[in-house]
A and B are shown apart, each in its own frame.
Chain A
Amino acid sequence: MLKQKLEALGHPTPCDVALSNRKEFASTVLWLEDQKIRFYTIDDREKLRNLDNMLVWEEGYKQYCIDLNMPPYETQLEQLTWMVGHAIRLEFLDDPAQYESINSQATGQIKNNGSLSQQKTQTLFNGKINVNDKEFIDGVRLLATKLKVPYHPNHLLQLEAVARIVHERVGPTASQKTAVTGTPFPFDKGNDVVSANDPALDYPMRILRLLQIQSLRQLQTKINETIVAVQNLTANPKTDTKLGKVGR
């Protein structure tokens, strides 16, 4: 995937980016900044150019990560993946119209995302908060780190995840919730088989299905509550034993 992304960005030797080699990694980072990201002015890139003196480079790279607002990733691969993704995003945003014709489905999704976030801008506290404010974004990122929500490039999606966790685990309603009683149904004991010989597919599928079942259960419970509320108005069950007759 990384290879394909580098290829898309026009990297001269996408196949040869050896992640085991720190120097190779450094040169790829430099190439990305020089050609694509261009976050620094040319003069500011001085430290990153020090490929021969890795100590200086590391110092410069550390600062660069902070300046780019890169999430605290641990491995080289994660960092590079994020940077390449970031570069692609910038490249795309330079001229979105250019890509419109390439894949209608993909651009359709992007349009949807656009209108989605616009809607959110309007609804968030009656528009008093600008969701694209740097301060706001930083706040969301900080909250997410504290609640251990995984990183997502769209901070609004991350905010949704944060909201869900707060609602379910931390909010006042959550603390009042009675603990679930009864024997838990073991994760792997259902009669459903996803892919017995591929745990990498089986495991996430089961999780997704359980989440789906959970939200269906909530919906069904709401439906039942509604029926009961209506029953309180309409129900009047009657029997009249005089009507009964046992057959021959």
Chain B
Amino acid sequence: MVVRPYVEELKYLEKINDNCWRIKKGFQPNMNVDGVFYVNSRLERLMLEELKNSCRPGAVGGFLPGVKQIANVAALPGIVGRSIGLPDIHSGYGFAIGNMAAFDMDDPLSVVSPGGVGFDINCGVRLLRTNLFEKDVQPLKEQLAQSLFDHIPVGVGSKGIIPMNARDLEEALEMGMDWSLREGYVWAEDKEHCEEYGRMLNADPAKVSMRAKKRGLPQLGTLGAGNHYAEIQVVDEIYDKWSASKMGIEEKGQVVVMIHSGSRGFGHQVATDALVEMEKAMKRDKIETNDRQLACARINSTEGQDYLKAMAAAANFAWVNRSSMTFLTRQAFAKMFNTTPDDLDMHVIYDVSHNIAKVENHIVDGKERKLLVHRKGSTRAFPPHHPLIPVDYQLTGQPVLVGGTMGTCSYVLTGTERGMQETFGSTCHGAGRALSRAKSRRNLDYKEVLEKLDQMGIAIRVASPKLVMEEAPEAYKDVTDVVDTCHAAGISKKCIKMRPIAVIKG
């Protein structure tokens, strides 16, 4: 890494407009393209402070600052367009979380990098609507939270209540949500409203290690720990009446359920296995990167292909996982209100993936090209009339589900044409950390965090309360800042805002 004084570093950064900065080539060695990041004035301060701190003499350890990571990604072989940082960006393994990058599939030197997908493969958000209103749910929220907590096992080491054997798992890995459909856990309409229709067709369970399968088997239908959660939310604000109505959201006060989860230990193991393989491939193919964490392999190499097939299996695992939790949520609600999920109109509004790599066609320099798009902590946001979004959202653009932090608010955005042109149809994914996990544990007290939620009238069930401060709102950027930046930059459009009334967490 190049070490320069902070003032020198700033010369490589150029503010294009109120919401967007350019990172010029030369900021890090061998950059093939420019970098770019989207921030408003408040997020900008966080971003530059992080860079400043890393420039202080003697600053070692930890991840590189987000800006540096964007620039290092811009130096990977085969990258096209720009290496893009979304407003919720924060440092991660190799790629920053909130960094998206696209690689030309027709360039034999192009790479795929597990660091660009993340360890929680196909971590994502699913939103279920109901026809209930706040007044129906408010008196029952404690019982509902408890009921959800009883149905959906949470926490590190939790085990699911859907019986599965090794053969079921193999089938689920290959079929994704189609498996859940076949077994009757979800509705046909759920598949329609899911990114990729809930199944990546190139999944190959044979490319997944035994170890990953062993870890994954008991975990299907569990929420997990960390920032994952299931929340009962209330519609707080509607910005785009017509798009909201297309999603079945008619009025303020309507109750929805948000599920944020991923592929659990399964995806983690797939990523870990791939990193080991790729380090060997890099040596063999003489691929040089600026950062050892950016392990990668050529897309067309055996390692690259194996990773993509295993990653697709992990993505399918995550969809089955979220589908199982959808089933359990519906059960919990139906029992509580003594009716059927059908009568509660508990349809899936949409299901997004914010840790994934996908093959997509985009227009680059006026020509259509096939790209491998890495989105890590970044959500796909396709514009109206894009062929890959469900027919119900052809007029509105793809719904983008942005989960806030525990106790704050969440948003639904829609994709825009401008986002398609500027960011390969990508936008933010959540609040994004401001403090590291360790730092939040040191600085915050879990009792205070829980008390504060209680004061806000939010029912909470949590498996490991002592870790709750890692996920406290204070540990994150303000999700409203993040979403407003995306809206102002035009890369997605605000549609609905929700606030939580009950949370279950790991």
Q: Please list the residues of chain A having a beta carbon within 8 angstroms of any beta carbon in chain B.
A: 183, 185-186, 189-193, 209, 213, 216-217, 220, 223-225, 227-228, 230-231, 234-241, 243-248
Q: Please list the residues of chain B having a beta carbon within 8 angstroms of any beta carbon in chain A.
A: 149-150, 153-163, 181-185, 188-189, 191-192, 218, 225, 240, 242-243, 245-246, 250, 327-328, 331, 383-385, 390-392, 394-397, 414, 416-417, 463-464, 493, 506
Check B242–A247 contact: CB distance below 8 A.
Answer: no
Check B162–A213 contact: CB distance below 8 A.
Answer: no
For A238, what are the chain B residues with a Cβ–Cβ distance below 8 Å? 162-163
Q: How far is the CA of A236 from the CA of B150 in the complex (A)?
A: 21
Q: List 11 A-B contacts (CB under 8 A).
A: A191-B383, A216-B391, A217-B392, A220-B390, A234-B182, A234-B184, A237-B327, A238-B162, A240-B163, A243-B162, A247-B158
Q: Which of A190, A220, A224, A248 contacts B155 (CB 8 A)?
A: A248
Check A236–B245 contact: CB distance below 8 A.
Answer: no
Q: How far is the CA of A234 from the CA of B149 in the complex (A)?
A: 29
Query: Known contacts being A209-B385, A239-B328, A247-B463, is A227 close to B159, with CB within 8 Å?
Result: no
For B327, what are the chain A residues with a Cβ–Cβ distance below 8 Å? 237
Q: How far is the CA of A183 from the CA of B185 in the complex (A)?
A: 31
Check B391–A217 contact: CB distance below 8 A.
Answer: yes
Q: How far is the CA of A169 from the CA of B491 in the complex (A)?
A: 42
Besides the known contacts A190-B242, A246-B153, 9 further A-B residue pairs in the complex with CB atoms under 8 A apart = A192-B397, A217-B392, A220-B391, A225-B188, A236-B184, A237-B185, A244-B160, A245-B157, A247-B463
For B155, what are the chain A residues with a Cβ–Cβ distance below 8 Å? 246-248
Query: Known contacts being A192-B395, A239-B162, A243-B163, is A231 close to B157, with CB within 8 Å?
Result: no
Q: Which of B160, B182, B331 contacts A231 (CB 8 A)?
A: B182
Check A235–B417 contact: CB distance below 8 A.
Answer: no
Check B245–A231 contact: CB distance below 8 A.
Answer: no
Q: How far is the CA of A231 from the CA of B191 in the complex (A)?
A: 13
Check A245–B242 contact: CB distance below 8 A.
Answer: no
Q: How far is the CA of A243 from the CA of B161 in the complex (A)?
A: 5
For B417, what are the chain A residues with a Cβ–Cβ distance below 8 Å? 193
Check B395–A247 contact: CB distance below 8 A.
Answer: no
Q: How far is the CA of A216 from the CA of B395 in the complex (A)?
A: 13
Check B391–A227 contact: CB distance below 8 A.
Answer: no
For A235, what are the chain B residues with a Cβ–Cβ distance below 8 Å? 182-184
Check B246–A185 contact: CB distance below 8 A.
Answer: yes
Query: Known contacts being A185-B242, A246-B158, A247-B225, is A236 close to B395, with CB within 8 Å?
Result: no
Q: How far is the CA of A193 from the CA of B385 in the complex (A)?
A: 10
Check A244–B243 contact: CB distance below 8 A.
Answer: no
For A239, what are the chain B residues with a Cβ–Cβ distance below 8 Å? 161-163, 328, 331
Check B160–A246 contact: CB distance below 8 A.
Answer: no
For A245, what are the chain B residues with a Cβ–Cβ distance below 8 Å? 153, 157-159
Query: Known contacts being A191-B396, A213-B394, A244-B160, is A237 close to B183, with CB within 8 Å?
Result: yes
Could you tell me the distance in whole angstroms from the C-beta of B76 to the nearest C-beta in chain A?
33
Check A191–B328 contact: CB distance below 8 A.
Answer: no
For A191, what are the chain B residues with a Cβ–Cβ distance below 8 Å? 240, 243, 383-384, 395-397, 414, 416, 493
Check A248–B153 contact: CB distance below 8 A.
Answer: no
**Smallest CB-CB A-B distances: 8 pairs:** A235-B184, A247-B155, A190-B395, A192-B384, A245-B159, A247-B158, A227-B188, A224-B188
Check A216–B394 contact: CB distance below 8 A.
Answer: yes
Q: Which of B157, B240, B243, B396 contacts A247 (CB 8 A)?
A: B157
Query: Known contacts being A191-B414, A191-B416, A193-B417, is A243 close to B185, with CB within 8 Å?
Result: no
